[in-house]
Amino acid sequence: MKKAIIIGASSGIGKGISLELLSQNYKLAISARRKDRLDEIKKINPKNVLVYEFDSATEQNNTLLDSMINDLNGVDMIIYCSGIGIINKELDYLKDKKVNNLNIAGFTQVVTYAFNYFIKKGGGHIVNISSVASEIGNGLATSYNASKAYQANYLQGLRFKAFRMKVPIFLTDVRPGFVDTDILMGNKDKLFWVAPLDKACKQIIIAIERKRKIIYITKRWKLISLLIKILPERIIRLFF
Ligand SMILES: NC(=O)c1ccc[n+]([C@@H]2O[C@H](COP(=O)([O-])OP(=O)(O)OC[C@H]3O[C@@H](n4cnc5c(N)ncnc54)[C@H](OP(=O)(O)O)[C@@H]3O)[C@@H](O)[C@H]2O)c1
């Protein structure tokens, strides 16, 4: 039986991935702060779901992962889905810090732990949900886009490291555009190409199965990525 850890599984993409993997008979260890939401997932298959109430913005993700791996008796894949975005027009440092604590510090703790664990184990799969936002700055939510750039760059660095060390550790960087989850804060109708959650999660699962390096969700967002790369900043700045 395959085993996976999903950090940030209480809603949105993390929950959707958890449900998909459960339907594929994975055994899961899932975490987030809202335990009641995690318990709802456990109810679907109590034997195959272990629940951990945890705030990943703390410096203690190693203790969480120690417990999860111990209780699962080993793990094949670790997925980081926790993430927040805050509009910060006034450049309030405390808002940026909140974003950075989860999207940078929490992320780094989880993926470094995962990488070192999989080196010892002889292989494994690390998945992170970054964003198309990783490829461009944002004047309204500067730390969000910058934190996603950090994640994407960090994962690429780990891919290079795995290659150099000749260990079969696969690293999948998932870059969604817009997906219909709580993070959109009710602005769905003002946005474009918003993917239904189940469609997004199905595409993510296929990318994971194929051990893809970078995947755009949905696929059409690759076009936006291309435009970001080729358009001059004097045009791009009108949108961000
Ligand atoms: N939806 C989109 O359009 C979109 C686009 C690009 C990238 N993404 C990325 O996708 C990832 C998942 O977001 P989503 O869209 O699924 O939104 P979501 O429904 O708001 O999910 C966010 C998840 O992060 C968890 N989380 C938040 N703060 C946490 C903390 N301090 N400790 C532990 N977990 C925490 C939440 O759980 P608790 O609140 O229960 O702790 C929840 O499970 C994020 O990294 C986001 O940046 C989303």
Q: Please answer whether residues 86 and 95 qualify as being in contact, where contact means their C-beta atoms are separated by less than 8 angstroms.
A: yes
What is the distance in A from the centroid of ligand 1 to the CA of 183?
A: 7
- For the CA of 13, the closest atom of ligand 1 is 16
Is residue 36 in contact with ligand 1, taking CB distance under 6 Å?
no
Residue 160 dihedral angles phi and psi, to the nearest 5°: -65, -40
Both tokens of residue 36?
């009641």
For the cut 90, the answer to whether the pLDDT of residue 127 exceeds it is yes
- 109: pLDDT strictly greater than 90: yes
- Mean pLDDT for the stretch of residues 80-106: 98
Regarding the beta carbon of 124 and ligand 1, being less than 6 Å apart is answered no
Model confidence at 101: pLDDT above 90: yes
Residue from 126, 127, 124, 144 nearest 135 by CA:
144
Give residue 5's Cα distance to chain centre: 12
Given its phi and psi angles, is residue 73 left (phi above 0), alpha (psi -120 to 50 degrees) or beta?
A: left
CA of 138 relative to ligand 1 center, distance in Å: 19
- CA 131 distance to own-chain centroid: 9
Question: In the CATH scheme, what architecture does the domain 3-236 have?
Answer: 3-Layer(aba) Sandwich (3.40)
Alpha-carbon span 108 to 154, nearest angstrom: 8
Evaluate if residue 10 carries a pLDDT over 90.
yes
pLDDT tens-place string over residues 51-61: 999 999 999 99
Sign of torsion over alpha carbons 200, 204, 183, 147: negative
Question: pLDDT value at position 99?
Answer: 98
Ligand 1: which atom is nearest the Cα of residue 148?
47
Q: Is a pLDDT exceeding 90 seen at residue 216? A: yes
Please say if the pLDDT value at position 166 is more than 90: yes
- Residue 212: phi, psi to the nearest 5? -70, 150
Q: Give residue 13 CA to ligand 1 midpoint distance, Å.
A: 7
Predicted model pTM: 0.98
* Mean predicted lDDT score pLDDT of the chain: 97
Counting residues of the chain whose pLDDT is more than 90, the rounded percentage is 97
Residue 239: pLDDT band (50, 70, 90) is confident
- Using the 8-state DSSP alphabet, how is residue 89 labeled? T
Q: Is 179 helix (H, G, I), strand (E, B) or coil?
A: strand
pLDDT at 240: 86
Kindly report the number of other CB atoms within 10 A of residue 232's CB atom: 7
Does residue 207's CB lie within 6 angstroms of at least one atom of ligand 1?
Answer: no
Closest atom of ligand 1 to 16 CA is: 16
The Cβ-side half-sphere exposure at 90, using a 13 Å CA radius, reads 4
For residue 21, name the pLDDT band (cuts at 50, 70, 90): very high
* 80 close to 128: Cβ distance less than 8 angstroms: yes
